[in-house]
Amino acid sequence: MIFRPTKFEGVMVVETEPRRDERGFLARTYCEEEFAAEKLNTRWVQQNHTATLGKGSVRGMHWQAAPFPEIKLVRCLVGKVLDVVVDVRPESPTFGQWHAEELSAENMRALHIPAGFAHGFQCLDDACELLYLMSEFFHADLARGVRCDDPSIGITWSLPVVNLSARDAGLPRFHELT
């Protein structure tokens, strides 16, 4: 695996190195030793699989608050997405800044997202499926979010934002978090 840092400490793009032959490929997508060497999370207690229909559909921006903040490892299995993180740590010098990566079944990248980052994605195909590894169990009372289309964050989505859930459309604006 190849680990590519982003502008945020701990937000890391994980590139696979598939071995291909006439039958297909084999790619290591996780190795505890390699993740530990990069000082990334190695404890995963839950795995989630999501399917999203419709180009432009957005899920997010979500995170889980203390005392059980989530670390995520996100991979696209079907289609392609623009995967986005926003720093929601008030004490951080990059508070309110965002970063995006294209994840796809073709490029086989994953994104390691540390605690303190909102996460969301936009489906860039007619259908997309993502697989998440989670460091903490889900606690509904700790679920948090912020509007994906908040101009104060200024995420540049690849397509017009469509098909938000009622929950996501009702999330607070960034300035309401502080």
Q: Name which of 73, 83, 81, 71 is nearest 110 in CA terms.
A: 73
Q: What ranges in 8-152 are assigned the alpha helix state H?
A: 32-37
Instruction: Say how far apart CA 163 and CA 96 lie, in whole Å.
Output: 24
In a 10 Å sphere around its CB, with 0-12 CB exposed, 13-18 middle and 19+ buried, how is residue 30 labelled? middle
| Residue 49 token pair | 């699989």
Q: Assess whether 62 carries a catalytic annotation.
A: yes
Q: Assess whether 132 carries a catalytic annotation.
A: yes
Of 49, 62, 99, 175, the active-site residue reads 62
Residue 14 CA to its chain's centroid (Å) = 12
Of 30, 119, 132, 175, the active-site residue reads 132
SS3 150: coil
Active site residues: 62, 132
